[in-house]
Chain A
């Protein structure tokens, strides 16, 4: 139970860090960390199908298309 508490705390800290970073690639990697920890929490809530879908789609493909789009525009905020 303490383990779940620390995971949720780490997830909220990563989400707040994604809003503070000025380098956009660091913000995208923080959002991918939020998706990864959410996938572990889905497994603890006894939902293996949803955990597999969130790990494959949220943590890998979303970060990849964000980085490709940042490469075609600017990298630093304003």
Chain B
């Protein structure tokens, strides 16, 4: 009975939306703001990756809101899971030598790759969120492969808090220097160089560290059994 009502509802929804989707043409330019960001982007911000300049410079306040949402989700998960009664720890047999050696060799390589991606965020495709997710995958490999090594809780909490604090302090420094929150106040330099685009690489490095340690601590909270 419930299944039939659900299918009827979905058919009505499908007919309604497909009638209105036929009016949206595929592949034609639709807004003019995008054209403005592409043409004036390099002179105003100095970053050659236009998506990075939109995320950090033109809409930087939305990125601050997203970092806050991620922080609240990590805190909420830690608070709910601290009241769950933990089962008695089962006998875990340690992993074989090949597996644990392989994990230990791969871990610094993955960390280096993730750091490379978020440092060059303003020149090539990439940025803070992608690099942070790759770093969290490296930590997941350590938690699954060699179980004896644990990352200390206080170190990851410290890195995460410092990352978030750096972002807010850079915004407040923009307010102090010129009266606008999150203004780009460092010199812009020449395009396509590593030290260019003002304050954008600094913000992305802070976001990269924060997102990486936050996702790793989410996985640590879920795994912990004793």
Could you tell me which A residues sit within 8 Å of B by CB distance?
Answer: 48-49, 52-53, 56-57, 60-61, 64-65, 68-69, 72
Contact = CB atoms under 8 A, between A and B. Distances in A.
A69 B117 CA distance: 30
B156 interface: no
Interface of B: 49, 51-52, 117, 125-127, 129-130, 133-134, 136-137, 140, 215, 218-219, 222-223
B69 to A, nearest CB: 14
Contacts of B223: 68
A61 B130 contact: no
A69 B222 contact: yes
B219 A64 contact: yes
Nearest to A58: B133
Contact of A56 (B49, B52, B130, B218): B130
A-side binding surface: helix, strand, loop or mixed?
A: helix
Question: Main SS of the interface on chain B?
Answer: helix
A52 B130 contact: yes
Nearest to B117: A52
Contacts of A68: 219, 222-223
A53 B222 CA distance: 22
Contacts of A69: 222
**5 nearest CB pairs, A to B:** A56-B133, A48-B125, A52-B130, A68-B222, A57-B133
Contacts of A64: 140, 219
Given A68-B219, A68-B222, A68-B223, A49 B137 contact: no
Contact of A61 (B49, B52, B117, B137): B137
Nearest to B137: A60
Contacts of B222: 65, 68-69, 72
